[in-house]
Chain A
Amino acid sequence: DQQVKQNSPSLSVQEGRISILNCDYTNSMFDYFLWYKKYPAEGPTFLISISSIKDKNEDGRFTVFLNKSAKHLSLHIVPSQPGDSAVYFCAASAGNQFYFGTGTSLTVIP
């Protein structure tokens, strides 16, 4: 029973365009959400997070949007760069519960 879902296993975007990665969750008790980026043969690295009391958080080229009524969050990368090519995982927490999504592999085409 996947509590955090990333329904798109892969995404290709042209360099300079916007990348939108999506994540859905089922547990309305989740109150904190994070995005991690993972390159091959490396551990994930933290990208950006958002509390459930907010609907948007921005950090440079990265913006996370949270829609609590739809139980949906998205990560926007603008402009996309070839170095952004990686697997992106969303994650959600509620107290002592913590779940990652299955990941979306982003390819940014030069």
Chain B
Amino acid sequence: DAGITQSPRYKITETGRQVTLMCHQTWSHSYMFWYRQDLGHGLRLIYYSAAADITDKGEVPDGYVVSRSKTENFPLTLESATRSQTSVYFCASSESYGGAFYNEQFFGPGTRLTVL
């Protein structure tokens, strides 16, 4: 599929379990991002990546781990899920002109994660 895809689209897990959300983009964009969307908070940046093997923390990184071994993939792992991590997670990608946050970001369709 062309564009940016996320899998799974829906996930239910239990407290303490590890879960990985996948993100794949076909544009060869340099930057990739992970956000969570919660009522009353809008979208908050979790982690972002400027290129393969380069990642940086966003506003709410605690409890999350990311990796980027290939330009097109940017998985997000919750090592020990907690109920407070119940949310909708969005992955995005963008070009690199001018810096990480000065370009249009293209978002995936989201993953709805429920932690019981």
Q: What is A's interface to B at a CB cutoff of 8 Å?
A: 4, 6, 32, 34, 41-46, 49, 89, 93, 95-103
User: Assuming A96-B101, A98-B58, is B40 touching A44 (CB within 8 A)?
Assistant: no
B40 to A, closest residue via Cβ: A102
Contact of A98 among B40, B45, B106 (CB under 8 A): B45
User: In the docked arrangement, what's the CA distance between A34 and B98, Å?
Assistant: 15
Q: Do the beta carbons of B43 and A89 come within 8 Å of each other?
A: yes
Residues of chain B within 8 A (CB-CB) of A101 are 42
B38 to A, closest residue via Cβ: A102
B59 at interface, CB cutoff 8 A = yes
Residues of chain A within 8 A (CB-CB) of B109 are 41-43
A-B interface pairs (CB < 8 A), number: 53
Contact of A32 among B44, B45, B102, B105 (CB under 8 A): B102
Q: Do the beta carbons of A95 and B107 come within 8 Å of each other?
A: no
Interface SS majority for chain B: loop
Q: Give the shortest distance, in Å, between A39 (CB) and chain B (any CB).
A: 11
Q: Give the shortest distance, in Å, between B58 (CB) and chain A (any CB).
A: 7
A93 to B, closest residue via Cβ: B101
Contact of A43 among B44, B59, B110 (CB under 8 A): B110
Max chain A CB contacts within 10 Å: which of B44, B90, B105, B110?
A: B105
Q: Do the beta carbons of A96 and B43 come within 8 Å of each other?
A: no
Q: Do the beta carbons of A100 and B42 come within 8 Å of each other?
A: yes
Q: Do the beta carbons of B108 and A43 come within 8 Å of each other?
A: yes
User: In the docked arrangement, what's the CA distance between A4 and B99, Å?
Assistant: 20
B51 at interface, CB cutoff 8 A = no
B9 to A, closest residue via Cβ: A41
- Per CB-CB distance, the 9 closest pairs between chain A and chain B, nearest first, are A43-B107, A93-B101, A98-B101, A46-B104, A102-B42, A100-B43, A100-B42, A44-B107, A32-B102
